[in-house]
Amino acid sequence: MNTRALLMLTGVAAVLIASGCKTASRRADRTAAPPVRVTPLPPRAAAAKPRVLPAKPPPSPAVRTNAWQNESAKWIGTPYRWGGNDRRGIDCSGFTLQIYQAVAKLPLPRTAEHQFLTGKPVTRDELRAGDLVFFNTTRPGASHVGLWLGDGHFVHASTARGVTISSLTERYWSARFLGGKRLLSFGGSK
């Protein structure tokens, strides 16, 4: 290879390298973050004390009763669906599970039979809003569950009517009443 060709090849290579570097540095300049200005934090005040917020008093029984009623009202008319757990369709234990989760943030077992194994037993006269009420509708033992609202009424997912309110004085429910369970110590109003 002659000297003239070698010089020409070296010159072209140098131009390509230089232009490649220049483009890359321009690209880097366009995308580089702007310079950062660091401002030191002020010194910590020696006398600063943590704030203590006062504890919230527990809600009154009337407020708790309304919470059960208000949450239950959102479900009235939801169709019954065995194994259902949402507003497209729900069964009795899925309904009580959803209400307890929404109002008390308390997870419940999935079936009426297993829900019956939780809580403190209460008699018909001791029922308070928020207590669970159990019935033996299809077999011995707890096969149906509802939520006591007070004043003789409970809300439940009925196979025939979906989520509805019934009275414990109705002959059908009165004859099949198994008992109540209190899951929360405060209960609610009668």
pLDDT digits (tens, 9 = 90+) for 135-146: 999 999 999 999
Residue at 43 is within a domain? no
β-pairing, 89-90 vs 85-86, is antiparallel
Indicate if 156 belongs to the active site: yes
Q: What is the mean pLDDT of residues 38-52?
A: 46
Q: What mean pLDDT do residues 120-149 have? A: 96
Query: Residue range 21-36: average pLDDT?
Result: 44
- Are 128 and 185 in contact, with CB atoms under 8 Å apart? no
* Catalytic site includes residue 144: yes
| Structure confidence at residue 8 (pLDDT) | 47
Q: What percent of the chain has pLDDT above 70?
A: 63
Owning domain of residue 96:
61-182
Catalytic residue among 21, 114, 153, 156: 156
Q: Residue for token digits 């943590």? A: 50
Report the chain's mean pLDDT, rounded to a whole number: 78
Q: What percent of the chain has pLDDT above 90?
A: 61
- Residue 188 maps to a domain: no
In a domain, 154, yes or no: yes
Give Dmax over CA atoms of the chain in angstroms: 115
Contact indicator for 164, 76 with CB cutoff of 8 Å = yes
Residue 51 within any structural domain of the chain = no
In a domain, residue 178? The reply is yes
Say if 163 falls within a structural domain: yes
Total count of domains within the chain: 1
- CATH code of the domain in which 79 resides: 3.90.1720.10
87 lies in some domain = yes
What digits encode the pLDDT tens for the residues 75-122? 999 999 999 999 999 999 999 999 999 999 999 999 999 999 999 999
Query: Is residue 5 in a domain?
Result: no
Q: Give the position of tokens 């009925």.
A: 158
Q: In terms of Cα–Cα distance, which of 77, 98, 186 is closest to 145?
A: 98
CA 93, CA 88: separation in Å to the nearest integer?
Answer: 15
Per mean pLDDT, which range of 52-56, 81-85, 126-130 is the poorest? 52-56
Q: Which of 21, 92, 114, 153 is catalytic?
A: 92
Position 185 confidence tier, pLDDT thresholds 50, 70, 90: confident
Q: Is 92 a catalytic residue?
A: yes
Residue 94 CB neighbours (<10 A): 24
**Burial class of residue 56 in the structure, from the number of CB atoms within 10 Å of its CB (0-12 exposed, 13-18 middle, 19+ buried):** exposed
